[in-house]
Amino acid sequence: METSITKAQQHMGQYNRTLTRARQIAREPALLFAVGGSVVLLALFLFLPLGKVLAMPGLADWLAYFETPRFVKATLNSLFMAVISTASATVLGFVFAYAVTYVEVPGSRFFRIIGLLPLMSPPFVTGLAFILLFGRRGLITWTLLGLRPDIYGWKGLWAVQTFAFFPTAYLSISSVLKAAGSSLEFAAVNLGARRWRVFRDIVLPLATPGIAGAALLVASEVLADFGNPMLIAGDFTVLATESYLELITNWSPARAAVLSTVLLVPALAVFLVQRSIVERRSFVTVTGKPIQGGRVGPAPWLKWGLAAFCLVVALFVVAIYGVILVCAFVKTWGADFTLTAYHFVMAVVHGKELLNSVMLSAMAAAFSALFTVVLAYVVQFKQVPGKAALDFAAVLPSAVPGTVLGIGYILAFNSGPLAMTGTALIIVTFMVFHYMAVGYRTASGMLKQIDRGIEEASTNLGAHSLRSFWSVMLPLMKPAFTTGLLYTFIRSMNSVSGPVFLISPSWKLASVSIINLADHGYWGQASSLGVAVVGSIFVVLGLARFILGEKVRLFEM
């Protein structure tokens, strides 16, 4: 009896707290607008498209999926690539991070730049470069060695995805290795442990959570990859490309929705596991006064071996971007290397794709940065009902492959009062909500470091929530706003898996055009657009650093 009364009292207390929060929100119109607006926007532009994808297929469509060998094979191929590409990219990323961040081999500063360079360009640029280097008319295979190998298929895709996504693993593992203290290493050495045992028993276990998190991030990237399979997979189909063919070529929305749902399942599983690891992991490795100085590190011969390894990787990355640059300004790749600006003029100067990409990406970046900062402020600083649900919804887009969300947008906004198909608005909206998670995470992390007393002091002086946010909190969150702005701009410029469904003759994008041009053999024009996209990103980053007057720490999150 007493237990029942206690439970009833607890429920009543929870109800009263929720009611109090609701009344507080109702008394502040700006806060009510922020909460209500966030819920409506997330419901319309995230959950409605996903709901359309999940609800579209019927029983007959699911039976057709299991009865169609091509669909089942595409599913198995996607899982197969997720395993092998994740493993190789994570191993490469760990070795690179260990050498550059932990050991600090000679040339580490140069290698850090090289490790971040692929993050500034579309992942499928790597696939294009592989074709130019190792294809049937490749610079190395045909021009230098006189060979005509067939690089199309799962082996070529494996190599491409390894080099395209190892920077993701490198960046994630580097942050963990930086945080690891050196006290345990020196203690082990003082007790007589050899360098190899220090690495095996101390360094590797401390890095394991970071390696696991990096592997899950890479796996999500591989599952969502659309551009590289389109360019280099050949007859080796995966779910992302098969979904595209079903919708665009065969115009079968129901079957495309089935394939998208199948793709969403492992992507969500990876997201939930990765989220669990991030929330639970801890890197407390030092107690008492930390030891100042370097680390134990490997033997000198191994250190130089790691430096040589990093040099080989760096040279390969440089070759990837170098060959794209050269191909943009030669007459015919593999046959006539006469310099010409024809491809660049046709693709960049006369075309509108680059201008469209810059304009729409800038619009998406501005709205996304502001929206995520406001949403993080509401979730972290305001006692509003459903905070946990809002927090989950804000990071969920990072788990949804662009192919899935792009198909969802076609299904949700093709007709009715929210019809946007064929307009710039649908592309911008997709970019905002697909890439909002990083901006939100960055803003939330920064808000957790800000003392709530700062805002409370403003409130006690009579400022309402809008005034407090605009005058006090937003200036403090300038780095988070900048990170969200630049990250969304970069990802939007490089996006292809979602926009490939949303573009129209009036609104073509550079990233999608690169795929189309390369697929039809227009290597020079495809390379020219690739050079222009990467160049535009670096120009924007340079302007951001010049205007802000501070170092833009985009990838140190």
CATH number at residue 491: 1.10.3720.10
The whole-number pLDDT of residue 341 equals 92
Query: Would residue 214 count as lying in a domain?
Result: yes
pTM: 0.86
Residue 319 lies in a domain: yes
Instruction: Write the secondary structure of 162-180 as one string of H (helix), E (strand) and C (coil).
Output: HHHHHHHHHHHHHHHHHHC
Looking at the fold, whether 41 and 121 belong to one and the same domain comes out as no
Let me know if residue 20 belongs to a domain: no
* CA nearest to 232, candidates 127, 355, 80, 150: 127
In a domain, 551, yes or no: yes
Residue ending a domain, among 292, 315, 339, is 339
d(CA 450, CA 440): 15
Q: CA-CA distance, 101 to 178, in Å (whole number)?
A: 7
Same domain, 232 and 351: no
Claim to verify: residue 550 and residue 423 sit in the same structural domain: yes
Amino acid at site 170 = Y
Q: Are residues 335 and 346 in the same domain?
A: no
The answer to whether residues 36 and 172 belong to one domain is: no
Q: Write down the pLDDT at residue 287.
A: 45
Q: Which has the closest alpha carbon to 526: 241, 121, 120, 114?
A: 121
Is residue 545 classed exposed, middle or buried when 0-12, 13-18 and 19+ CB atoms within 10 A define those classes?
middle
Q: How many domains does the chain have?
A: 2
Residue 393 included in any domain: yes
Do the domain assignments include residue 529? yes
Q: Is 109 part of any domain?
A: yes
Q: Are residues 319 and 360 in the same domain?
A: no
Q: What is the pLDDT of residue 51?
A: 94
Q: Where are the beta strands (DSSP E) in 327-483?
A: 330-332, 336-339
Tell me how far apart the alpha carbons of residues 454 and 228 are, in angstroms, rounded to a whole number.
Answer: 48
* 333 lies in the same domain as 446: no
Length of the chain in terms of residues written: 557
Last residue of a domain, one of 339, 354, 385: 339
Token pair for residue 439? 């901006």
Alpha carbon distances (Å) from 170 to 210, 305, 309, 340, 452: 10, 18, 14, 37, 34
- From CA 39, how far away is CA 42, in angstroms rounded? 5
- Domain endpoint, select from 318, 339, 360: 339
Q: Verify that 138 and 107 share a domain, yes or no.
A: yes
Please give the DSSP secondary-structure letter assigned to residue 135.
S
- In a domain, residue 268? The reply is no
Residue 333 is predicted with a pLDDT of 87
Q: Do 327 and 360 sit in the same domain of this protein?
A: no
pLDDT number for residue 289: 45
Which structural domain, as residue segments, surrounds residue 184?
76-237+306-339
Residues 323 and 366 in one domain: no
Q: Answer whether 49's CB lies under 8 Å from 412's CB.
A: yes
d(CA 356, CA 84): 36
Specify whether 125 is located in the same domain as 40.
Answer: no
> What string of H, E and C letters represents the secondary structure of 167-214?
HHHHHHHHHHHHHCCCHHHHHHHHCCCCHHHHHHHHHHHHHHHHHHHH
Same domain, 327 and 432: no
**What is the chain's pLDDT, residue by residue, as a tens digit (557 residues)?**
555 555 555 555 555 455 555 555 555 666 677 788 889 999 999 999 999 999 999 899 999 999 999 999 999 999 999 999 999 999 999 999 888 887 888 888 899 888 888 888 888 889 999 999 998 888 888 888 888 888 899 999 999 999 999 998 898 888 777 766 555 565 655 555 566 666 666 667 777 777 888 888 899 999 999 999 999 998 999 999 999 999 888 888 999 999 999 999 999 988 888 777 766 655 444 444 444 445 556 667 778 888 999 999 999 999 999 999 999 999 988 788 899 999 999 999 988 999 999 999 999 999 999 999 888 888 877 767 778 888 899 989 988 999 999 999 999 999 888 899 989 999 999 999 999 988 888 888 777 766 555 555 555 555 556 566 666 666 777 778 888 889 999 999 999 989 999 999 999 999 999 999 998 889 999 999 999 999 999 999 888 888 776 555 655 43
Q: Which of 366, 373, 367, 364 is nearest to 477 (CA)?
A: 373
